[in-house]
């Protein structure tokens, strides 16, 4: 990992890929690194991330500091790759494990090549997707999750997203492990929910790792602790 040698170099632009820890928000990561930068360089540094990951997701989070913050729209727009654990036979209001898990009682179809092709092909290409109500999407100027937490009904607008690749990896009990390459704005939680609806048994997202953001990969990303240690050395 290359740490900028001085404040001028940092302000000229620094881009770093980190592995977001489980349970952290993307803002938690930015705040930790921002504070470490301020301590090291003695100045408040402009820094942001290029694409939110939910707290229960881990993986690639691109951080841009100094004038590199101008490149954030580029990284937001680039393709993302994920490995998802889709748990069949139950649903949740949030489409992931952050809310109560409700078994559907519907039979879970046995995996087969034919089922795999039928289900996967339905979601390849440009599709209409409805984001989860527990999301940061704004509806009539208000965050959907804030309205949902107050028990209000939220009419979520659909959005067009693109699934470039949807590859089955393996089964683990009642879960499918799938690799997804998609456009910006894609909610993997919604994709998991919709896969379960298509199979008639329900599903929710039980685990998620973002493995790539454009050219940045998880294998080449640093842990947050590595970054903090390097900045405090």
Residue 1, pLDDT score: 63
pLDDT tens-digit series, residues 126-170: 999 999 987 777 777 777 777 777 777 777 889 999 999 999 999
Residue-wise pLDDT tens digits, 69-83? 999 999 999 999 999
* Nearest CA-CA partner of 228 in 25, 35, 36: 36
Please give the residue that has the higher pLDDT: either 221 or 233: 221
Which listed residue (19, 54, 96, 194) is catalytic? Answer: 54
pLDDT of 231 reads 95
pLDDT for the residue 200? 95
194 is catalytic: no
* 229, pLDDT greater than 70: yes
| DSSP 8-state assignment for residue 69 | G
Mean pLDDT for all residues in the chain? 93
* Per-residue exposure over 130-169, b if at least 16 CB sit within 10 Å of its own CB, e if not: ebbbbbebebeeeebbebbeeeeebebeeeebbbeebebe
| Contacts of 183 by beta carbon, 8 Å cutoff, 6+ apart | 79, 80, 161, 162, 163, 164
Domains of the chain: 7-77+215-232 (3.30.2350.10), 80-213 (3.30.2350.10)
Quick: pLDDT tens for 3-37: 899 999 999 999 999 999 999 999 999 999 999 99
Greater confidence (46 vs 118) lies with: 46
Which of the four pLDDT bands, split at 50, 70 and 90, describes residue 102? very high
- pLDDT of amino acid 93: 92
Residue 48 · residue 63 · CB < 8 Å: yes
Q: In angstroms, rounded to a whole number, what is the distance separating the alpha carbons of residues 47 and 57?
A: 21
| Nearest partner of 231 among 20, 36, 42, judged by Cα | 36
pLDDT of residue 227: 97
* Residue 103 CA neighbour count, 13 Å, CB half: 5
pLDDT at 218: 98
DSSP string over 193-228: HHHHHHHTS-EEEEEEEEEEETTEEGGGPEEHHHHH
């Amino acid at each position: 990992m290359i740490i900028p040698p001085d404040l001028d170099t940092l302000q000229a632009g620094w881009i770093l890929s980190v592995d977001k820890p489980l349970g952290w928000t993307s803002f938690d990561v930015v705040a930790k690194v921002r504070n470490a930068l301020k301590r090291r360089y003695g100045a408040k540094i402009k820094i942001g991330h290029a694409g939110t990951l939910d707290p229960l997701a881990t993986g690639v989070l691109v951080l841009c500091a100094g004038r590199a913050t101008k490149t954030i729209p580029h990284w937001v727009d680039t393709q993302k790759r994920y490995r998802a654990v889709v748990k069949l036979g139950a649903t949740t209001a949030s489409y992931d494990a952050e809310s109560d898990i409700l078994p559907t009682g519907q039979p879970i179809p046995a995996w087969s090549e034919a089922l795999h092709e039928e289900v996967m092909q339905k979601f390849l290409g440009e599709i209409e997707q409805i984001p989860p109500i527990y999301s940061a999407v704004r509806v009539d100027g208000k965050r959907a999750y804030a309205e949902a937490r107050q028990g209000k009904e939220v009419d979520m607008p659909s959005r067009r997203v693109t699934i470039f690749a949807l590859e089955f990896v393996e089964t683990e009990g009642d879960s499918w492990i799938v690799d997804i390459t998609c456009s910006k704005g894609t909610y993997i939680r919604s994709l998991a929910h919709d896969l379960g609806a298509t199979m008639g048994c329900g599903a929710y997202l039980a685990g998620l790792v973002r493995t790539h953001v454009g050219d940045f990969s998880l294998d080449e990303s640093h842990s947050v602790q590595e970054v903090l240690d390097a900045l405090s050395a």
